[in-house]
Structure 1
């Protein structure tokens, strides 16, 4: 997902993007949603969040 799309998701969820980097912003959105903020930590195959919006982009 491109940064502009992520910022739009953040805006819809009430998360201020500011100058956050991609991973930081995604983690902020994950926390706001009540999910584990595990994006980019190499846990995509073991996190158990199969419906995660960021799963395709996660490593």
Structure 2
């Protein structure tokens, strides 16, 4: 998912994107939704939250770490 799409999602959820990078913006959205801000922190590329909107992108970024 590209940053423009994440910014659009953020605005629709009442989050002001400002100059946040994609990772920080997604974590801000997660907090706003009442979730743990865990984007891109999956250890060893595994996450049990398979229904998460960010799941696929999260795992891809986690593997790069």
Bin the TM-score by the shorter chain.
Answer: 0.7 to 0.9
4+ residue runs over 3 A deviation:
none
Unaligned regions of 5+ residues in structure 1, if any? Answer: none
Which protein has the larger Cα radius of gyration, Structure 1 or Structure 2?
Answer: 2
Could you say which structure has the greater relative contact order, defined with CA pairs below 8 angstroms and 6 or more residues apart? 1
Give the length in aligned residue pairs: 58
TM-score computed with the length of structure 2 as normaliser: 0.80
TM-score computed with the length of structure 1 as normaliser: 0.87
Unaligned regions of 5+ residues in structure 2, if any? Answer: none
Aligned-pair Cα RMSD in Å: 1.3
Report which of the two has the higher share of helix.
Answer: 2
